Copies of this chain bind each other. A is one copy, B any other.
Amino acid sequence: MDAFGKLSVSQVNITGGFWKARQDLNRDVTLGSVREQFEKTGRFAAFRFDWREGMPDRPHIFWDSDVAKWLESAAYVLNKNEDEALEAYVDAVVDLIEKNQDENGYFNIYFTVCEPENRFCNRMAHELYCAGHLIEAAVAYYEATGKEKFLKAMCRYADHIEKVFKIDDSAEYSTCGHEEIELALVKLYRCTGEKRYLELSKHFVDIRGTAASKEVRAGENDAYVQDHLPVREQTTAEGHSVRAGYLFSAMADLSREYADEGLFAASQKLFENITQKRMYITGGIGSTAAGEAFTVDYDLPNASAYAETCAAISLYMFAGRMSRIKADSAYADIAERAMYNGIISGISLDGKSFFYENPLEINLFDRKLPQKAKVRFPITQRLEVFGCSCCPPNMTRFIASLGENIYSFSRDTVFVHHYMQSTAEFPLDGKKVTIEQTTDYPNDGKVTFRLTGMKNNRLALRIPGWCRKVALRGSDGNVGFETQAGYAYLTVKEDDVRLEFAMDMQPQWLEASGHVCECAGTAALQRGPVVYCAEAVDNGDELWSLRADICAQVEEYYEPSLGLTALKTEGYKKTDKGSRALYLPAGEGYEPRTIKLIPYYAFANRGESDMRVWLYKY
């Protein structure tokens, strides 16, 4: 196993194209919109610690984390943009955090103003989860502004947590019922260099699900919170999918930091279980609303898919970490699948509203039927805020921090995991390296690189799993490369080099494994990393009666109602040709029909409409 370096948000600028537009919208619209919703619901006011019984807006146990993710998002935005008002707003919250922090370092709104007597008593109360998000925010804010107040406050809190959970072992539980602190402590360690934080993270991960933990001794270990087994013995992704994704991310982090082969092997097994048996084609995970959880292998219902936005983000986080341990494109492939599909489907094109759940099918007919009356279906239109509003600020921090996952590096090799118009500047092998990507990816498969300071170093370009053909050209013509585990490796010959990398973006129909009952007989269209879907607004009702002809040509067209390039293809619709018969000879009653497909991430932006990712094949 390897341990590749990571670039920070500071080192990478996204300068144009698909993600720049989203980062701008995130900065200009979404961040303010989420803040406004959080103000309206009392989440920010709660940091004043002046709530008393009988007052409205009783703080909720996870409100600290909602605001923390917003603060973290603001930090990434401030990392790239001057914004005095925003910075002042964050500073004011940070002041409140410092002001209301206990002498001993403890900080939690709910367990200070609502139930101070119950600190560290209930592992399901998200206490360390909130701490973790505050730590992530503090690290991001320090990196963005150089201001230490927030970071120091969180170091004091982390010290307190270490004392309570590791040194004194005086809390009523050993591990938090919602993982997050584990990966946050790794970030805190990397930011501060304080190894105790890494050790504390390792402590939480190592003790989980073992007889050394209080919960296992009390018989309260549960797959829902991933402590049914010691983490090294887990081979299937179980329980609440966001919890799982955060835990597995921490496992990957720790296996890298400690060069822990066993922990990495466990992480790999879990990654494979998810991505080979429990993941939607959109990168969505956690197929059931019951516990927002994984179920069993190959259980991937489309209409009732939970596929929480945060869960897809957690998979992206896990995959990104794995890609910095082993140079295998499988990891960044999955990160990319989530990025372009099941994550950004969670936000409307206008940047103001959100899906918590991301179904792969909306069938309004079906969900009104008596036999489905008790099936829980996702909502069909995005909302501006949720009671449990974890997803919106997770989206804002995901978008604002995207740059950090584009590259990684070893001593002499720079890995390009993702294609985005961007610039990066960082030291490699004692030299200053700059990389400039110019591209309209994923609309177009061409990426132009300008590399400086890389002479005699290697460049490794991910060849996406969906891509059947790539070409690499330098100023003198084709450039040879060696492919290994999904990366094209080449040695850079000069200190100022231009390369053109071209990926074949031919749309492809995919099928799910034969083990997936819910996708039987169907295919889904993908172009580059983008999965497409059919909406009734473009194709009429009864989307199940469309038939995709997987051999027909697929063409691009501009869909003005979305402001997007979409796809169309000639397929069929089972119209019965006017017959009133309920049962007809097979193969009859089909009529040619143009099928229009839009990117999945853009669904539900034109009013309530049926939608399908998986179309029946002709």
Q: State the A residues within 8 Å of B (CB).
A: 272, 275-277, 279, 281, 287-291, 293, 295-296, 299, 301, 304, 363, 365-366, 369-376, 508-517, 520-524, 542, 544-545, 547, 550, 573-576, 579-589, 616-617
**Beyond A370-B295, A375-B371, is A582–B512 a contact (Cβ under 8 Å)?**
yes
Q: Is the Cβ of B542 less than 8 Å from the Cβ of A275?
A: no
**Beyond A288-B371, A617-B521, is A583–B295 a contact (Cβ under 8 Å)?**
no
Residue among A272, A363, A366 with max Cβ neighbours from chain B (10 Å): A366
Closest CB of chain B to A611's CB: distance in Å? Answer: 14
Residues of B within 8 A of A299 (CB): 365, 369
A295 to B371 alpha-carbon distance, docked (Å): 9
**Smallest Cβ-Cβ distance to A303: which chain B residue:** B371
Q: Is the Cβ of B587 less than 8 Å from the Cβ of A511?
A: yes
Closest CB of chain B to A469's CB: distance in Å? Answer: 14
**Smallest Cβ-Cβ distance to A572: which chain B residue:** B514
Residues of B within 8 A of A277 (CB): 582
A189 to B324 alpha-carbon distance, docked (Å): 87
**Beyond A288-B370, A295-B370, A296-B369, is A513–B585 a contact (Cβ under 8 Å)?**
no
From the candidates B363, B369, B514, B616, name the one contacting A288 in the complex (CB within 8 A).
B369
Q: What are 23 of the A-B contact pairs (CB < 8 Å)?
A: A272-B580, A276-B581, A277-B582, A281-B583, A290-B371, A301-B369, A304-B371, A363-B517, A365-B517, A374-B375, A375-B375, A509-B586, A510-B584, A511-B583, A512-B584, A513-B576, A513-B579, A514-B542, A514-B576, A514-B589, A517-B544, A523-B586, A550-B587
**Beyond A295-B369, A585-B511, is A520–B616 a contact (Cβ under 8 Å)?**
yes
**Beyond A514-B575, A520-B544, is A293–B586 a contact (Cβ under 8 Å)?**
no
14 other A-B residue contacts (CB within 8 Å) besides A290-B370, A586-B617: A279-B582, A288-B369, A289-B371, A290-B373, A299-B369, A363-B517, A375-B375, A513-B576, A514-B545, A514-B589, A516-B582, A521-B544, A521-B547, A521-B616
**Smallest Cβ-Cβ distance to A277: which chain B residue:** B582
Residues of B within 8 A of A517 (CB): 363, 365-366, 542, 544
Residues of B within 8 A of A616 (CB): 520-521
Residues of B within 8 A of A291 (CB): 370
Closest CB of chain B to A476's CB: distance in Å? Answer: 35
**Smallest Cβ-Cβ distance to A616: which chain B residue:** B521
A376 to B272 alpha-carbon distance, docked (Å): 34
**Smallest Cβ-Cβ distance to A551: which chain B residue:** B587
**Smallest Cβ-Cβ distance to A306: which chain B residue:** B371
**Smallest Cβ-Cβ distance to A291: which chain B residue:** B370
Residues of B within 8 A of A289 (CB): 371
Closest CB of chain B to A603's CB: distance in Å? Answer: 19
Q: Is the Cβ of B375 less than 8 Å from the Cβ of A581?
A: no
Closest CB of chain B to A337's CB: distance in Å? Answer: 9
Residues of B within 8 A of A301 (CB): 369, 371
Residues of B within 8 A of A295 (CB): 369-371
Residues of B within 8 A of A579 (CB): 513
Closest CB of chain B to A53's CB: distance in Å? Answer: 37
Residues of B within 8 A of A365 (CB): 299, 517
Closest CB of chain B to A294's CB: distance in Å? Answer: 10
A575 to B516 alpha-carbon distance, docked (Å): 11
A7 to B571 alpha-carbon distance, docked (Å): 53
Residues of B within 8 A of A509 (CB): 585-587
Residue among A291, A293, A375 with max Cβ neighbours from chain B (10 Å): A375
A483 to B617 alpha-carbon distance, docked (Å): 39
**Smallest Cβ-Cβ distance to A579: which chain B residue:** B513
**Smallest Cβ-Cβ distance to A272: which chain B residue:** B580
Q: Is the Cβ of A582 less than 8 Å from the Cβ of B371?
A: no
A203 to B372 alpha-carbon distance, docked (Å): 38
**Smallest Cβ-Cβ distance to A301: which chain B residue:** B371
From the candidates B276, B363, B510, B581, name the one contacting A513 in the complex (CB within 8 A).
B581
**Smallest Cβ-Cβ distance to A574: which chain B residue:** B514
Q: Is the Cβ of A508 less than 8 Å from the Cβ of B585?
A: yes
